Structure 1
Amino acid sequence: MEPDFAESAPVRLVFTAEVRADPAAVYRALAEDVEGWPGWFTAVTSARPTRDGGGREVRLRGGARFQETIVSARPRERYAYRVDETNAPGVRAMLEEWRLSPAGSGTRVRWTMAVDGAAPVRLLMGFAKPAVGRAFRDAVRRLDRRLGSPAT
């Protein structure tokens, strides 16, 4: 699966928010401090880098597990990973992309969850969009507080 799946997937959930930290600090939290994710994204119960940083293993509340491969890591701009293995039934393909861009004195964060799966998965993703959006907004607020000071 190529990184452009984020733009072409049958189901795309896209959310944006702004933080005070600069893009470099946000990128470090996303890509370099993988084990720190549970401290700001409460849906994540554990995360750890694998394959010398080329992959990730992530566990979510509710028991979902993911083995992922990093498909794009452009500091201060983009961090994306595809799901190679999951215990979530019916998921055929999944990719998540974080895009960062300067916004005022901080960073605009855009998160895309791109999914293909059986009809029940596609339907469930549509129903889950409001809850996933709340989880994203809460996570970004926590990340903003965790990163602390405004961009300089």
Structure 2
Amino acid sequence: MVRRLRAEGLDFVGVAPVRLVFTRAVSAPPERVFHALAEDVSGWAEWFPAVTSIVPLDEGAGRDVRLWGGGRFRETVLAAKEPELYAYRVDVTNAPGVRALVEEWRLAPDGPGTRVRWTFAADGTVLVRGLLRLAAPGLGRSFREAMTRLDRRLTTGA
């Protein structure tokens, strides 16, 4: 079943009932990381383990995302400010109990590389909120693996 979520803006990242924040340093510079996030959208499936495909929509203003396990998201890009910020909101999903979801990627120089901070901001039923909090360690592992794979891809082309 398809569910339309609340249309939240970028400010939701600071006030969401569930905020999961993960950080990781990568050796690639912010401009290259930003390019991978915001411009090479279909490439996410090669470095983010949970993603099976992402198709850009509306000339880059949106995305159609499919995850392992059958999760689907239709997203709207909220911000693409090179090289420091990329954020999007989920508008439609097949995930039950979710009411709102915004993800923000902040990039900051870290020596010659980049400090990547991913914030997963969500609202949902009490059950969904609890499940998301319990899922935080797994999301963290997925993020760390994704950053390792992205860094390898950006620095060695592998």
Question: TM bucket by the smaller chain?
Answer: over 0.9
Query: TM-score, normalising length from structure 2?
Result: 0.93
In the TM superposition, residue 12 of structure 1 has moved relative to its aligned partner by 0.5
Please, which of 46, 54, 59 is the counterpart of residue 52 of structure 1?
59
Instruction: Give the structure-1-normalised TM-score.
Output: 0.97
> Structure 1: how far apart are the matches of 2:16 and 2:53?
26
**Structure 2: which 5+ runs fail to align?**
1-7
CA distance in 2, matches of 1:8, 1:100: 20
Deviation, 1:31, is 0.3
Distance 2:59 2:39 in 1: 11
Distance 1:100 1:85 in 2: 26
Among 9, 14, 18, which residue is 1:7 paired with? Answer: 14
After superposition, residues 122-133 of structure 1 pair within 5 angstroms as 122-133=129-140
d(CA) in 2 for partners of 1:56, 1:12 = 22
Number of aligned residue pairs: 149
Deviation at 1:75, TM superposition (A): 0.6
Give every structure 1 segment of 4 or more consecutive aligned residues whose post-TM-superposition deviation is greater than 4 Å: none
Q: Deviations for 1:82-115, whole angstroms, at most 9, x for unmatched residues?
A: 0000000000000000000001110000000000
Give the letter for the 2:28 counterpart. A
Q: For 1:143 and 1:119, how far apart are their aligned partners in 2?
A: 34
Percent identity of the aligned residues? Answer: 60
Which residue matches 1:110? 117
